[in-house]
């Protein structure tokens, strides 16, 4: 027949079961959080450090525009670039250090790589700029497997979603929260290709200031 338990025994049994369930739940939650953290290592951990990323692919998207795909340190890495921030690419060109800002067209939902869409300014095309663009021509000359220096996140603005921003009045000042119901944007050059996107029906701005 069924075992008889005194009220004290029943309370002790229920307490033991409850503690056991809470322990199992804690282990499960901790394991999930740990696995999630381990699955998403961040590339840009220090804005003052240069990260060397390898060119994976070069795709022509227009007569003077190309998409450059760079590999992150592993297939599980994300870039770690908040919306509104940008990166700096640097290279030694003709003996001089050249640094240019770029905003990727991929976000942290993409693991293992980062894409840049860049207009190539060639020599002898525009009379006002006879030498063309130093960095864009340098990138165009790269071969698959070549390495480029990335640095970031950089910029004075971060978009947190739902119209909420963090804005630094200057580089040395702390961020100030701002809220906007409407936002006007000017997209020029290759910037017109990706001023905003809507993944999972949740607006995400992809520009920098």
Residue 160 CB neighbour total at 10 angstroms: 14
**Does 119 appear as a known binding residue?**
yes
List, in sequence order, the alpha helices (H) in 49-193. 134-141
The phi, psi pair for 183, rounded to 5°, reads: -140, 125
Per-residue pLDDT of the chain (209 residues; tens, 9 = 90+): 555 656 666 666 556 656 566 666 666 666 665 555 567 999 999 999 999 999 999 999 989 999 999 999 999 999 999 988 999 999 999 999 999 999 999 999 999 999 999 999 999 888 888 999 999 999 999 999 999 999 999 999 998 888 899 999 998 999 999 999 887 777 665 555 445 544 443 444 444 44
Report the pLDDT value the prediction gives residue 92, as an integer from 0 to 100: 97
**Does 100 appear as a known binding residue?**
yes
Q: Which strand ranges, in their side-by-side order, compose the sheet holding 164-167?
A: 157-161, 164-167, 176-179
Burial code of 52-68, b = ≥16 C-beta within 10 A, e = fewer? ebbbbeeeeeeeebbbb
Report the pLDDT value the prediction gives residue 50, as an integer from 0 to 100: 98
DSSP class of residue 8 equals H
**Does 102 appear as a known binding residue?**
yes
**Does 58 appear as a known binding residue?**
no
Check whether the bond before 13 is cis (ω within 30° of 0): no
* 51-205 CATH pick, 3.40.50.10700, 3.10.20.520, 3.40.190.170, 2.40.30.10: 2.40.30.10
Report the pLDDT value the prediction gives residue 138, as an integer from 0 to 100: 98
d(CA 164, CA 158): 9
**Does 82 appear as a known binding residue?**
no
Q: Tell me if the pTM is above 0.95.
A: no
**Does 6 appear as a known binding residue?**
no
Residue 117: strand, helix, or coil? strand
Report the pLDDT value the prediction gives residue 5, as an integer from 0 to 100: 56
Q: Do 59 and 66 contact (CB within 8 A), yes or no?
A: yes
Sorted by sequence, the CB contacts under 8 Å of residue 53 that are 6+ apart come out as 43, 70, 71, 72, 114, 147, 148, 150
């Amino acid at each position: 027949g069924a075992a008889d338990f005194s009220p004290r025994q029943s309370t002790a049994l229920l307490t033991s079961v409850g503690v056991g369930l809470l322990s199992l739940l804690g282990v499960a939650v901790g394991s999930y959080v740990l696995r999630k953290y381990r699955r998403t290592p961040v590339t840009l951990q220090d804005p003052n450090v240069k990260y060397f990323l390898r060119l994976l692919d070069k795709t022509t998207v227009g007569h003077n525009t190309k998409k450059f795909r760079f590999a992150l340190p592993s297939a599980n890495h994300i870039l770690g670039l908040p919306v509104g921030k940008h990166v700096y690419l640097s290279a030694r060109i003709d003996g001089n250090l050249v640094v240019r800002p770029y905003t990727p067209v991929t976000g942290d939902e993409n693991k293992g790589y980062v894409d840049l869409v860049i207009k190539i300014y060639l020599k002898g095309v525009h009379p006002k700029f006879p030498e063309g663009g130093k960095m864009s021509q340098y990138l165009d000359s790269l071969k698959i497997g070549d390495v480029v220096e990335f640095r970031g996140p950089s910029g004075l603005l971060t978009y947190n979603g739902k119209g909420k921003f963090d804005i630094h009045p200057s580089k040395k000042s702390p961020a100030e929260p701002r809220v906007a119901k409407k936002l006007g944007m000017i997209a020029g050059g290759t910037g017109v290709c990706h001023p905003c996107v809507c993944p999972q029906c949740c607006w995400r701005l992809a520009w920098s200031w």
